[in-house]
Each structure stands twice: as C-alpha cells, then as structure tokens.
Amino acid sequence: MPDIIEIPVYRLNELCGDAKDKARAWYREGGFDHDWYDAVFEDFQRVAEILGLNLKTRTVRLMGGGTRQDPCIWFRGFWSQGDGACFETFYAYRKGAPRRIREYAPQDTELHRIADALQAVQRRNFYQLRAEATHRGHYYHEYCMAISVERDSPSWQDMTADAEDTVSEALRDLARWLYRQLEREYDYLSSDEVVDETIIANDYTFTDAGRRFG
C-alpha cells in the first residue's frame, strides 16, 4: 500500500517574505504568457502605419496545421548588451503623418520628433524618398537593420546629401522607441504588484518554502 503524505499548501498572501519572493520568481520564470508583448506590437503597427511604414510579414505555422502572417518585428531583452528591437519594412511618404501621430499619441514627443524629421527630409526631396529595412545577423537591435534609401524621381534627380542618414536614423530611432515600450511593459507585468494579482487570480498554491505545489 502506498503511503499517504499530507502537505499543507498556502496561497500567496499566506506566505512569509522569502517564500513569497520564491513564489514570484517561479511565476516570472515560467508563468509569463509568451504573447505578453502583443499589445505593444499592435500599438507599434498602428504607429508604423501612420508614419508611412508598410511592415513586412512572415508566415508562422500554427499547432493545428494552419498558418498566419505575423509582422516582421523582433526583440531580445532586457538585461544584456546588444539587446534591442528591430523590424523589416518598406517606407514611403505618408501625407499628414506629423498631425496624425500627434492625434494618436499626443504626449509622445519622441514619436512627434521622428514624424517631423521624416516630413522635413521628404519635403526637401519633393516627397519622393523610399526606403527598405531588412534584418541581418543573429541579434535584434536597431543596428541589425540594413536600410537602403532611394529617391523615386521621374526626372532622375539625386536625393539630398542628408536624405539617407536622416531616414535611416529615424527608422533606427523608431526601433529604439519600440524597445523602450517593450521594456516598460515587461517591467510593469513583472512588478510585484501585478505578479501578486495574477498569482492570486489564478489561485496558485505553494509549499511553506514558496515552491509551486503540483
């Protein structure tokens, strides 16, 4: 006959300090939804569309055998040198982008600055600049984006001397902006307050040492 051993289990608010910290650590290590960044990606896609970016997509296979198209956005974070975010896109002038981005994100001065920079360089080039950004290498940060810029002029006019650098830097600044949004979201979701709320809502139980039970 097998022995029956009774083990008392506790909910988070019944644990002491060290045990509670271990319970939180368990959740942070494996309890995160792998799609925690979806809301940030959705916001970025809207920002990109306003600024004139047409994000590339890639085919993702689903467990049921189907597929879906996901935007080509990547990131890695948040503690190592070389962490960051990048994306693949086509870019062309979008009329009214500075006004529209201010309507969409009235408090975000960095997005306003990026939109203004793109508007100004497009004006100097009669709104004919186009660009493409492609990921390269094994890392994911703004300098992993190979960016090419050209002027689509019917009379074969060259772009202004500052055009390539200005557009490239604006796209890299946008990748930096995206990474900061991801970092803020992760910090919020992994904060003690939010982790505690999630553990309690899911009614997880632990041993008196803070180890997940079952």
User: Residue 194 domain-assigned?
Assistant: no
How many domains does one find in the chain? 2
My answer on whether 159 and 82 are in the same domain is yes
My answer on whether 65 and 149 are in the same domain is yes
Q: Which domain holds residue 67?
A: 34-189
Task: Tell me if 117 sits within 8 A of 170, measured CB to CB.
Answer: yes
My answer on whether 155 and 108 are in the same domain is yes
Per-residue pLDDT tens digits of the chain, which is 214 residues long: 677 778 888 788 888 889 899 989 988 887 666 689 999 999 999 999 999 999 999 998 888 888 999 999 999 988 888 899 999 999 999 999 999 999 999 999 999 999 999 999 999 999 999 999 999 999 999 999 999 999 999 999 999 999 999 999 999 999 999 999 999 999 999 999 999 998 899 898 888 888 888 6
**β-strands 84-87, 53-55 pairing:** unpaired
User: What are the b/e assignments for 66-96, b being 16+ CB within 10 Å?
Assistant: eeeeebbbbbbbeeeeebbbbbbbebebbee
Task: Tell me if 88 sits within 8 A of 135, measured CB to CB.
Answer: yes
Residue identified by tokens 């100097």 is: 124
User: Residue 197 domain-assigned?
Assistant: no
My answer on whether 182 and 210 are in the same domain is no
My answer on whether 10 and 90 are in the same domain is no
User: Residue 66 domain-assigned?
Assistant: yes
Residue 78: predicted pLDDT: 85
User: Residue 13 domain-assigned?
Assistant: yes
My answer on whether 52 and 112 are in the same domain is yes
Residue 105: predicted pLDDT: 98
The pTM for the full model equals 0.90
